[in-house]
Amino acid sequence: MRLFLVRHGRTAWSVSGQHTGRTDVPLLDEGRADAKALGERLHRAPWSGLRDAEVRTSPLARASETCELAGFGDRAARWDPLVEFDYGAYEGRTPAQIAEARPGWFIWRDGVPDGESLAQVAERADRVVEWARSKERDAVVFAHGHILRAVGARWLGEPVAFAARIRLAPASLSVLGWAYGAPAIEVWNDTAHLEQGA
């Protein structure tokens, strides 16, 4: 089995670099177009719509709408473990704004005040990994940049801080699988469907 990770399309806050956790920011028109392009790609060979895959989405609108526009909404179950990192006091702020008050701050080391701890994020990521590995078929999840990076790290058996090294663009496609019997990344942060205007 493989686990397909889809990050939602562009929002006003993803474009501006603001931390978007639980605030339900809608997709931009460009983000909707990106979601449709990604869906067209997933419905062509070699994936042909992943007809046998189990699909889950974050309940937040930017992810669930991406799922719908990509053509998977009728098969998707909403699942709370896929919501984005709760950024607490840093919700809506850019890294530059945070650094003004807290020089040297690094989310994957320092966490956030009044929000979710890195241990809590890791625990949610582990739930996603465990769920996907319990299947005998492919799984697809539509979610958010930081939680999906955490899932990638935990899939590989790395500490959640490893997520700092595996960035994800909006409307990107990643595939987690296996190599020589060990967890591996097959595809990461692939946006060819956007670059080609698919």
Residue extents of the structural domains in the chain: 3-193
Predicted TM-score (pTM) of the model is 0.94
CA distance 33 to 29: 6
Question: Could you tell me the CA-to-CA distances from 151 to 17, 69, 175 in Å, in that order?
Answer: 21, 23, 11
Cα 48 off chain centre by: 21
Please indicate whether residue 65 is annotated as part of the active site. no
Helix (H) or strand (E) holding 185: strand 182-190
pLDDT at 195: 81
* Residue-level pLDDT at 198: 45
Q: Is 84 a catalytic residue?
A: yes
**3-193 is classed CATH 3.40.50.1240:** yes
**Cβ atoms of residues 140 and 2 within 8 Å:** no
Taking the chain (198 residues) in consecutive chunks of 10 residues, what is each chunk's mean pLDDT?
96 92 94 96 93 95 97 96 95 92 91 94 97 94 97 97 95 96 96 77
Choose, from 8, 144, 146, 193, the residue flagged as catalytic. Answer: 8
The answer to whether 14 and 170 are in contact (CB under 8 A) is yes
Distance CA 78, CA 55 (A): 9
Among 19, 65, 68, 84, which one carries the catalytic annotation? 84
Residue 18 and residue 11: Cα distance in Å, rounded?
10
Q: Is the backbone of residue 92 left (phi > 0), alpha (psi -120 to 50) or beta?
A: left
